[in-house]
Amino acid sequence: MPFKPLLNLLIERVPGAQGAIVADWEGEAVDQVGIMDDYDLKVIGAHKGVILHSMRDVVDRLGDDELKEIIITTKQAQTLILPVTKDYYLVLTLDRSDMLGRALLEARRCIQALYQEIA
């Protein structure tokens, strides 16, 4: 499943984007693009998969709806984690900026396109 064209479009549309990765439920990279080191992006993708799994457990225990997105903001960066399906997820890393709204909009569009490719 080559997702590079969709990920490239996402990176191009989000100012300050550093990398985007689609990973499977085990945290293994399926496809990725970015201006950051490939290895670092794979580590970020796998680590964010652990966070996604933990948050899904919490949401399930609370009896809430399915988890839609996670936003992590630090002093220097923002990371978005969005499930595509139960087995795949997208991670987008970007510089800390005022572009969070734009990043969310574009990531949601990317998720829809990825879902069409996977389903």
Q: Report all structural domains of the chain as residue ranges with CATH numbers, in order of start.
A: 4-118 (3.30.450.30)
Place of tokens 């457990």: 57
CB neighbours of 103 closer than 8 A, spacing ≥ 6? 14, 17, 78, 80, 92, 94
pLDDT in tens, 11-26: 999 999 999 999 999 9
The answer to whether the predicted template modeling score (pTM) of the entire model surpasses 0.85 is: yes
Nearest to 30 by CA among 81, 76, 89, 80: 89
pLDDT in tens, 42-67: 999 999 999 999 999 999 899 877 89
